Amino acid sequence: MTTIRTLMVVAVKNHWSLHQLDVNNAFLHRDLHEDICMKLPQGLTSSLPNAAYKLRKSLYGLKQASRQWYAMLAEVLYSRGYKHSENDYSIFHKKSSTSAVFVAVYVDDILLTGNDDHEIAELKAYLDSAFKVKDLGFVNYFLGLEVLNSSKGLILTQRKFTLDLLKEFDCGALSGVITPLDCTLKLKADEGDPYSDPTRYRQLVGKLNFLTHTRPDIAFSVQHLSQFMQAPRVPHYQASLHVLRYLKTQPTLGILLHNDPSLSLLAYCDANWAACSHTRRSVTSYVVFLGHTLLSWKSKKQQTVSLSSAEAEYRSMRRVVAKLAWLSTLLHELTVDNITPIPLKCDSKAAIYIAKNPVFHERTKHIDLDCHFVRQKLMDGLVSLTHVHTTSQLADIMTKP
């Protein structure tokens, strides 16, 4: 894939909204009058007081606007020979024996990429004939992510977002720290004085959560702080400021999308047994690499209590196997083949033995659904399980402060 371009739809032609919404005039009229109370300007009269409004461009806030916009855009792309992905409906593709072009859509922001410059140029002209579009050239900023060119590939960073966040929460006088959270701190839901401004805490954690798109090193900290959104206390807010102090040390860090031709998948999974002192639930984590590129990562508290560390590790394994099953089919659509079996590295030999053992023992009967799923994917050849020493477990960063 040689070209990455960005298109932003800035307007739509007069016929689209009316034509697409004509069959729902009654619903549209109710929506406009009752939900956003559109009325004729003072001094303007109409002989048809009950008529529906003709929209010359889509209005934000209408319940059906985004769905109708996607339907119209999809129809235009279908007419050009594109198909939507079966694994992600925000992706469209057009492939032949010699070329492949992909379209990624987020509302009215569009990314084009592929190895056929002629088709990309014709697609832009075709979209411009159907909508009013603006070609922004090679991508450098998309949905809050900065895209920087490097000799090794593309760098995704949220530098500006991080600096704005530090400024918003007055971190100029705070000193930097080397860990996202204090390793000795044990946060609990009912300890400490209630924080006076819960909304501020929720805004901070929400923005930190958005920052995890390019900062996997704070993933554990953010999921931990997210547990106290309902009733935050002073220690929780102080811990969130600790994360900001950590970000202050290196606000420009990001993810490198490596241009290495290797497109093999590699996954690590780990778990921290009974990590939550309040619920005694374990923390699941995994990281997935595509070649030398960190492709996907997760840090999440498990939904049930695990009775042993092996069980916690096995539930973590089930979660990453589900992710790999989806990624393998998506990459196949993106013309990346022959990636199975995918090496999956786990530092628990007991969890690996559970996955490979066809006999259910008393200690594993209560997790048989997870067992069936992982074992089936193992037998299908999707993954291959390998033990890795704890010191080489890359997913460990997602389970501890």
Contact 240, 227 (CB under 8 A): no
Number of H helices, E strands in the chain: 11, 15
| Mean per-residue pLDDT of the chain | 79
Handedness of CA 172, 250, 211, 73 (dihedral sign): positive
- Of 269, 264, 267, 262, nearest to 340 by C-alpha is 264
If you average pLDDT over residues 12-23, what whole number do you get?
A: 26
39-70 pLDDT per residue, tens: 666 777 777 766 666 666 656 666 777 777 88
Q: What's the pLDDT at 49?
A: 65
pTM: 0.76
Residue ranges of alpha helices (H) inside 252-343 are 309-333
128-144 pLDDT per residue, tens: 888 888 888 888 888 88
Q: Is the pLDDT of residue 374 over 70?
A: yes
110-122 pLDDT per residue, tens: 888 888 888 888 8
- Min mean pLDDT across 137-151, 158-172, 218-232, 265-279 is at 265-279
Give percent above pLDDT 90 in the chain: 17
The β-bridge partners of 157 are: 146, 254
Residue type present at position 111: L
Count of residues for the chain? 401
Structure tokens at 370: 């997870």
Q: Is the pLDDT of residue 3 over 50?
A: no
Distance of alpha carbon 183 from alpha carbon 242, whole angstroms: 11
How remote is the C-alpha of 282 from its chain's centroid? 22
Domains of the chain listed by start with CATH number: 3-139 (no CATH), 157-249 (no CATH), 260-398 (3.30.420.10)
Q: Is the pLDDT of residue 158 over 90?
A: yes
Query: Quick one: the chain helix, strand, coil %, rounded to 5?
Result: 40, 25, 35
Contact 219, 212 (CB under 8 A): yes
Nearby residues of 88 by Cβ (< 8 Å), 6 or more positions away:
330
253-280 pLDDT per residue, tens: 999 998 888 888 999 988 887 676 667 7
Q: How far is the first Cα of the chain from the last one, in angstroms, to the nearest whole number?
A: 38
The β-bridge partners of 242 are: none
Contact 115, 98 (CB under 8 A): no
- Min mean pLDDT across 41-55, 193-207, 312-326, 367-381 is at 41-55
Distance of alpha carbon 27 from alpha carbon 67, whole angstroms: 14
Nearby residues of 352 by Cβ (< 8 Å), 6 or more positions away:
346, 385, 387
If you average pLDDT over residues 284-292, what whole number do you get?
A: 90
At 307 the three-state DSSP class reads: coil
**CA angle in degrees (0–180, nearest 5) for 160-396-280:** 105
Q: Is the pLDDT of residue 16 over 50?
A: no
DSSP 258: E
346-359 pLDDT per residue, tens: 888 888 887 777 66
Could you tell me the maximum CA-CA distance found in the chain, to the nearest angstrom?
81
DSSP 177: -
Q: What's the pLDDT at 360?
A: 57
Give the pLDDT band (50/70/90) at residue 397: confident
Q: What's the pLDDT at 362?
A: 55
Distance of alpha carbon 219 from alpha carbon 283, whole angstroms: 12
Q: φ and ψ at 29, to 5 degrees?
A: -65, -40
Look-up: residue for tokens 């209630």?
194
- Min mean pLDDT across 21-35, 111-125, 138-152, 192-206 is at 21-35
Distance of alpha carbon 160 from alpha carbon 302, whole angstroms: 33
